[in-house]
Chain A
Amino acid sequence: MKRQVRAAGREGTLDFTRDGSSVYFTLDWEDGARDTGLADAVEVAPGHWSILWDGQSFEAIVEPEAVLVNGSRIAAHSRDPRDWSPADAHAGASGPAHIASPMPGKIIRVLVNDGDNVEEGQGIMVVEAMKMQNEMQSPRAGTVRTLRASVGGTVAAGEVLATIE
């Protein structure tokens, strides 16, 4: 089975076959490196894997867009190479980035204006949720567009509050 993978920013193609808990794999990284091996993989609980490989025991927990390997969170993504789209190739590099509150809350402060140039990590607004004031930050450098947030407004989970272009 072939998968297009990304782990900690590294892209590659994974080819693997499973036989019970045994997984034979070949990983061809874009930078030309190749890793091959035989791992033993068991899903001990939903989303929680025990991997025995290379003389080591790994505990891996699947999260959205990440895998926690022995406690270290590694950004990871896997998809069918047939689903390849040009947008994926540029993911994170360009195109508008949306800023959305992951939960319901109330806007306490808006720290930028429409049209402002912002740096990566710059605070865009402060949302109060779970008794905490949380600063929403820009995922990348760019220009603030379609700023929908206004002070005192309530926000729904997933509602896009600003777009960075």
Chain B
Amino acid sequence: MFRKVLVANRGEIAVRILGALRRLGIPSVAVYSDADRAAPHVRCADEAYPIGAAPSSQSYLNIERILETCRQCRATAIHPGYGFLSENATFASACEAAGITFIGPPAAAIRAMGLKTEARVLAQRANVPTVPGTSEPLSGYEAARKVASAIGYPLMLKAAAGGGGKGMRAVHSESALEAAFRDASSEAESSFRDASVYIERLIERPRHIEIQIIGDKLGNLIHLGERECSLQRRHQKVIEECPSPFVARHPGLRERMGQAAINAARQADYYNAGTVEFLVDEQANFYFLEMNTRLQVEHPVTEMVTGLDLVELQLRVAAGEPLSITQEQVEWRGSAVECRVYAEDPGHNFFPSPGLITRYDAPHGPGLRLDSGVQAGFTVPIDYDPMLAKLAAWGSTRGMAIERLRDAVNRFAISGIRTNLSFFREILADRLFLAGEIHTGFIAEWLARRASPTPSAQQEIVAALVASLATVNATVPVQANGAASQWLRSGRSAQLR
């Protein structure tokens, strides 16, 4: 096993990986930007070193600085987490060249799966079905128009270097193609520094179901079942669960998708943890979407249902150990549901809400798991993704897991910033969600049909009373940092309307 491991990430995933290292007795190293000195990940590591200014390009994406830190503290391996450098083949190669183990797949597999068009070809070669579309990036709008009329509408434009929903646009008619092509290209350029996009046919009302795989360097490759991630807002997952209620209704589907995922991964000579994403239509046909060559954000639901620790498995296979379990030994017990808690305001079109967290009271209870990257007193920086934490619940049935999660969401008290917890309160009580009738357009449809919950008369009275008590009580206005004063200023100007 490794002598010392550096975690090249921040937030909840850094905390989660550092926890696994601590439990395995492996000395751990955190790195941090100027915005993160007080962040939990810095405080729960054995050692921590600054790596630059707040913008991620100057810190968490700074390959030279991270490798230099690794050499100086004599760490022998780097865990990249997700995001940042986790799917950067150049970084993986640079680690290996420096004699540092990259805890992830081989650089060649990252490179192959990172180019979405090349990944499609790989999948086809492994006889894994893909969505009809182009395998080459489009040269320009004219080329896009030609391909689009051949494939037919509706279709999807996707960034070739993409992921995380960036650079994606659904197009329903030719009249909308030009604007969508321009938007997708510019978003791809700003997110991935690569403006190339390609076209896929749009599958109507699909589910997004993905298969977790893990392999060792000896060629053993197994799958750990599926996760249903159909609940997405603007192509970003917000609620994930294992097992998928759809797969649970279709005997044999898990095994077929699992085998397809293994075949695709084997085609890329894959090892370590990875996820093969599929679109699944209403007839249970599944199509390869892409492969994420890293630990996923939503890995906890798989861990809760299989009882495995994915980060521990990643560390062991990266150190050269053979997989300690066989496919036959993988068991799925009960159901787990997770929601991603974001610093964003569901009352204002989900606009990000960074700033000082004044209160952070996490819920406790049977079957709950909280992976958190923040704490009370921490200022959520404007420089990174607004995810604060992942809250997950396990139950012997899906219904029980959802009840536990809903109760936990209701009792999670975060003050100082806005969060999307109130949004989960409503979704987790939605009739169609409870019935498992979900697809990737579910949240967009839900937002359109959603009846704003009408507060009870008592709640209105309490609101009026507390608003009054608070203004009368307030002697010193809370103004801890610049962000708060901006809120105050904009609040005041709103009152002057």
Residues on A close to B: CB < 8 A?
1, 3, 5-8, 10, 12, 14, 16, 23, 25, 27, 35, 37, 39, 41, 43, 45-49, 51, 53-54, 56, 58-74, 76-79, 87-88, 91-92, 95-98, 100, 102-104, 108-109, 128-137, 157-158
Contacts and interface: CB of A to CB of B under 8 A. Distances in A.
A89 to B, nearest CB: 12
A138 to B, nearest CB: 11
B190 A128 contact: yes
Given A5-B467, A7-B463, 8 more contacts: A8-B460, A59-B413, A61-B413, A78-B464, A100-B493, A129-B351, A131-B385, A133-B187
B459 interface: yes
Contacts, number: 190
A119 to B, nearest CB: 14
B190 A8 contact: no
Interface in B460-497: 460-473, 478, 482-483, 486-491, 493-497
A128 B190 CA distance: 10
A69 B358 contact: no
B462 A92 contact: no
B410 interface: yes
B465 A25 contact: yes
Contacts of A130: 343, 352, 354, 382-386
A133 B169 CA distance: 13
B386 A132 contact: yes
A3 B241 CA distance: 47
Contacts of B353: 102
Nearest to A67: B463
A81 B437 CA distance: 50
Nearest to B459: A69
A60 B421 CA distance: 15
A134 B234 CA distance: 11
Contacts of A92: 497
A128 B352 CA distance: 10
Given A8-B455, A103-B483, A131-B384, A63 B465 contact: no
Contacts of B421: 71
Contacts of B187: 108, 133
Interface in B409-457: 409-410, 413, 415, 418, 421-422, 425, 453-455, 457
Contacts of B496: 87
A45 B183 CA distance: 46
Nearest to A130: B352
A98 B493 contact: yes
Contacts of A68: 422
B497 A71 contact: no
A77 B466 CA distance: 10
Residue picked from A1, A79, A131, most chain B C-beta under 10 Å:
A131
B382 A103 contact: yes
A88 B468 CA distance: 17
Nearest to A109: B183
A98 B91 CA distance: 45
B99 interface: no
B340 to A, nearest CB: 13
B232 interface: no
Nearest to B376: A45
A51 B462 contact: yes
A15 to B, nearest CB: 10
A98 B497 CA distance: 8
B418 A48 contact: no
A14 B384 contact: no
B458 interface: yes
B145 interface: no
Contact of A158 (B468, B478, B489, B495): B489
Given A47-B415, A48-B359, A135-B349, A65 B466 contact: no
A163 B497 CA distance: 11
B467 A103 contact: no
Given A8-B455, A16-B465, A41-B465, A62 B349 contact: no
A95 B497 contact: yes
A64 B487 contact: yes
Contacts of A60: 462-463, 466
A9 B148 CA distance: 48
B347 interface: yes
B62 interface: no
Contacts of B467: 5, 7, 62, 67, 76-78
B296 interface: no
B186 interface: yes
A29 to B, nearest CB: 9
